[in-house]
Amino acid sequence: PTRAYLVKLPSRRSINVFFYDGPVSQGIAFEKLLSSGEKFADRLAGAFDDKREWDQLVNIATDGESYGHHHRHGEMALAFALRVIEGRGVARLTNYAEFLEKFPPKREVKIHEKSSWSCSHGVGRWMTDCGCNSGGHSGWNQAWRAPLRESLDWLRDAVAPLFENKAKEFLRDPWGARDDYIFVILDRSAENREKFFREHATHELNDGEKVAVLKLMELQRHAMLMYTSCGWFFDELSGIETVQVIQYAARVLQLANEIFGQDLEPRFLERLERAKSNIPENQNGRVVYEKFARPAMIDHRKAIAHYAISSVFHDYPDRLRIFSFTFQDEHREQFTAGKTRLAIGRTKVISEITLESETLAYAIHYMGEHNVIGGVGSFDSEEKYDLMFREIKTAYESADFPEIIHLIDRHFGKSAYSLKSLFKDEQRRIIGDILGSTREDIENRFRLIAERYTPLMKFLQSAGAPAPQELQSVLDLILHSDLRRQFKAEQPDIERLRALIEEAKPRGPQVLDVEISFVAKHFLERAIQKIAEHPDEAEPMRMLEQVAALVMPLPIGLDVGRTQNTYWSLTQTALPDLRRRAEGGAKAKEALDAFLALGRRLGFAPCALEPEAADAKKDRQ
């Protein structure tokens, strides 16, 4: 949580006038910000009771995600409100330690157990169908909460004695080690892990025993993570928060099977099946587990499949870390023919969490677009691996793709891997690359059509005749593509950009859509960052000012907050030096003028940029 602590001292009751002179994000009127900030400040300070004559402490605790996530620009409103409160002199920020030092406690209070700020039923929201929900689906119930918690409680209690008995083989105090494992989670360096082993092991552990201890600790970590509160807070069993706690439970089941050789999954799913989803196609907890939790379970073969498929699209070094896995190639060769590729290799995968490792072979065949097939497995001899390598390579060299698929099945089994086997972030990135290539191909074909029929479209327009929608769609796509290219360029052609924008304005959201807003936003952010790196060069400032003049008036919901914030930081760091150097040099004066012009274009008031205006403001205050 983000916490703000306010203390109102009886001797400080005066109210001072406060003026705000910071940057205001695009699209937020100064009056609106001032009004909302004042109201927020009044609500915070209103928690104090003026009738009380003793010293008061108000603790205000809110979720950090409230500021900027749930409430856009909430972090600015909070900063503004706190500054208003301090400016008035009715309270000041403090913390518990300072307050207790100055005002020792005089009374004892008893905490009301099992209470909750978000639910009038105490902690019922985390275990019963109490009726509290987000309000988005009035017909839904939360009857799934009880069987979900019962399922997790059963799993926790089932693994606890198994954990304790196994851990006693290595650790003096298994539960004490479990508690201290937090320090390993916070720092997983080799030195810190060894320190943990020295402090808790009954004897000097070998590599295999260290792996066993870490897997035991991870089992307990996930057994605690599966009680993450947001899993019960919302309305639906198949919601992302509840699916996440079920995925934590799936990891407990996976580790329990590996460590203890006990498959607890069937009995767990019998209980979880009693939890009913509000969404008909998701049915119950068993279905949710099969749809969302099981595919997310990662083992060494899935990790190698991710690495091998991803390596077809990247040039990887011989040793690479991806998320919590390190991959070390023992042998790898890749072949290319047109759009198709073939990668065959053998790689050692190491878990950076448990230190467990395994060496596996793979063969991945990419046939263009989204078509990928591959196999992962182990070979008990070098001769068998070499045979697989030669046969698949020979089939690829003769472009016998059906034979390649047949050989992958024969050498690796039927559990073939595809793009769906990639971790989600990498899957989206590679699919994005594939779609980018597809999009480029479509654009090239459409551009030929546009070049041929643009004269006809202009004639129809001049004649007042309706244009065929099919041709207009083609022209819109090319116009959108050309705009996008200008914003992605390091140095856009300003006149070309101006002409494209003028052409796009009549088309409205058909061309000026959220993607144009996105690329324009990132262009502004890249440009202001380059200015921050070289704040003495006028030309980049002029270029950014010209682009901002073109795009900021457009109805595309452009977010320039980060650009403004970076500029504001420059007014505190670079602007004073620019002013000093401008007194004696034409080049610095040119950069200063460009900088101030850019600030005005970004919406900054003169008082924030001109010292004379600021001095006049101080006089008014």
pLDDT per residue as tens digits for the range 567-601? 989 998 999 988 888 888 888 899 999 999 999 99
39-48, 373-382, 503-512: least confidently modelled range: 39-48
pTM of the model: 0.71
Q: Which amino acid is at 497?
A: L
Long-range pairs, 213-216, Cβ under 8 A, ≥24:
213/167, 213/170, 213/171, 213/177, 214/353, 214/354, 214/355, 215/255, 215/258, 215/259, 215/354, 215/356, 216/163, 216/166, 216/167, 216/170, 216/174, 216/259
Per-residue pLDDT at 519: 95
State mean pLDDT over 354-369. 92
Provide the pLDDT for residue 201: 96
CB environment 415-443: b (16+ within 10 A), e (fewer): ebbebebbbeebbeebeeebeeeeeeeeb
Q: What tens digit of pLDDT does each residue of 473-503 get?
A: 888 889 999 999 999 998 999 999 999 999 9
Mapping DSSP to helix (H, G, I), strand (E, B) and coil, where does residue 57 land? strand
Structure tokens at 299: 């083992």
Q: Tell me, what's the pLDDT at 35? A: 64
Query: What pLDDT, on the 0 to 100 scale, is given for residue 20?
Result: 30
Neighbours of 121 (CB within 10 A): 15
* % of the chain with per-residue pLDDT over 70: 91
pLDDT value at position 607? 65
Per-residue pLDDT tens over the stretch 383-437 = 999 999 999 999 999 999 999 999 999 999 876 788 888 887 788 888 877 777 7
Q: Indicate the pLDDT class of residue 13, thresholds 50, 70 and 90.
A: very low
Give 607 or 38, the one with higher predicted confidence: 38
pLDDT for 15 beyond 90: no
Q: In the prediction, which pLDDT does 32 show?
A: 54
* Rounded percentage of the chain residues whose pLDDT exceeds 90: 52
The tokens of 213 are what? 């201890």
Which residue in 485, 580, 571 sits closest to 531, CA to CA? Answer: 571
Statement: residue 8 has pLDDT above 60? no
Tens digit of each residue's pLDDT (9 = 90 or more) over 88-132: 887 888 888 888 898 888 888 888 887 777 677 778 777 888 887
Structure-block tokens of residue 190: 């080799």
Whether 301 has a pLDDT exceeding 80, the answer reads: yes
User: Cα(279)–Cα(294) distance, rounded to whole angstroms?
Assistant: 19
Distant-in-sequence, close-in-space partners of 428: CB < 8 Å, separation ≥ 6: none
- Entry field: residues in the chain: 621
pLDDT value at 219 more than 80: yes
The tokens for 4 are 């703000």
Q: How far apart are CA 195 and CA 393, in angstroms?
A: 48
Residue 36: the pLDDT is: 67
In the structure, what pLDDT confidence band is assigned to residue 611 with cuts at 50, 70 and 90?
A: low
- Structure-model confidence comparison of residues 195 and 453, the more confident one: 195
Residue type, 580: R
Average pLDDT of the residues in 312-316? 87
pLDDT digits (tens, 9 = 90+) for 318-330: 899 988 999 999 9
Asked if residue 496 lies in contact with residue 468, where contact means CB atoms within 8 angstroms, the answer is: no
